[in-house]
Amino acid sequence: MTRTMIELDEFELWRDRGDEAPLIIRGEARVPENAAGTVVICHGFKGFAHFSFFPYVAQQFAERGFRAITFDFSGSGVGDDRENFTNRDAFTHNTYMQELEDLDAVVAEARVRDWIDDGYGLFGHSRGGGVAILHAARDSGVKALVTWAAISSTNRWAPEVVADWRQRGFIDIANARTGDVIPVSIELLHEVEQYGTTRLNIAAAAAQIASPWLIVHGAEDETVPVNEAERLASFAGSNAELLVLDGVNHSFGGKHPLTEVTPVLESAARVTADFFAKHLLRTSV
């Protein structure tokens, strides 16, 4: 069997914010020969494009004939080495609205570069899944959506956490993998309180999505409970397929760095690629 030739094209997008330091989105597109579709991939909170299973999943998509676009949200906190949290200030001030604007910028750049010539697929994990849902509800160009372990609400904090946040102006977020503790500004809380029932209402967005949608969730997810997937599916109705994987956690068995592709991860990636192939590919590849 002939192996697909895949080109890796890197990009940087600088978002001007006036007198403030610019926001930088760094990413890459895996572009196979004779590509017949495109998938844009969104990482989650404390994640980044090169984290754990994302490069593996992107490669699987590319080998199936998709241009696979991965990128670091500008507020991911990951620096220009694409691996380490060297931009703590960006992480501190990141918000949902900023991530939606980042995704808009990536899609616009992909169209300029002819990586997207018509509709496209969208993939998101965890918080990135929530962002993907919000985006898909307002962009008719999204022709297929797949979310893994997606959040169903942007308001995710217990009352005692919110009270402490208001008093201090920030909350501390620990990264168990790196040992970092990075503050998150109250800007995020204020944004969710202002727009959580309108522009950032994931449940309402789920009910508006017109494209085919595959909702994948681990039954043993320790970060986003599986009932959030069930909630999303109930709002989406017959438009969505719900796949609950027994014994699977939030990371689908993937660690960082990814030294082993578990059977669960391989299966989830294959099912996801099959779903995109069914709804996106113009020709058989």
Please tell me which residue, 15 or 104, carries the higher pLDDT value. Answer: 104
Please give the share of the chain, as a percent, with pLDDT higher than 90: 90
Phi, psi angles (nearest 5°) of residue 214: -110, 120
Structure tokens at 50: 């090169």
The two three-digit tokens of residue 40, written as one number = 């844009």
Ranges of beta strands (E only) in 149-260 are 170-174, 181-185, 213-218, 240-245
Distance CA 174, CA 181 (A): 4
Residue 143 host element (H or E): strand 142-148
What are the residues facing 181 on neighbouring strands?
174
Domain ranges of the chain: 6-155+199-280
The H or E element spanning position 194 is helix 187-195
Q: Which of 224, 242, 74, 17 is nearest to 146 (CA)?
A: 242
Length of the chain in terms of residues written: 285
Q: Which residue has the higher pLDDT, 129 or 16?
A: 129
User: Considering the entire predicted model, what is its pTM?
Assistant: 0.96
With cut-offs at 50, 70 and 90, classify the pLDDT of residue 272: very high
**What is 6-155+199-280's CATH topology?**
Rossmann fold (3.40.50)
- Cα–Cα distances in Å, from 26 out to 4, 70, 75, 89? 25, 9, 11, 17
| Closest C-alpha among 45, 43, 63 to residue 53 | 43
Structure confidence at residue 99 (pLDDT): 98
**Confidence (pLDDT) at 3:** 67
- Find where tokens 């609950």 sit: 244
Q: Is the pLDDT of residue 284 over 50?
A: no
The encoded tokens of residue 34 equal: 């004779």
Region 21-42: mean pLDDT is: 95
For residue 283, is pLDDT > 80?
A: no
125-173 residue pLDDT tens = 999 999 999 999 999 999 999 999 999 999 999 999 999 999 999 999 9
Mean of pLDDT over the chain = 95
pLDDT in tens, 171-222: 999 988 888 899 999 999 999 999 999 999 999 999 999 999 999 999 999 9
pLDDT of amino acid 282? 57
Per-residue model confidence as pLDDT tens digits over 95-131? 999 999 999 999 999 999 999 988 999 999 999 999 9
Using the 8-state DSSP alphabet, how is residue 180 labeled?
-
Q: Which token pair is 66?
A: 């998709």
User: Which residues lie across from 194 on neighbouring strands?
Assistant: none
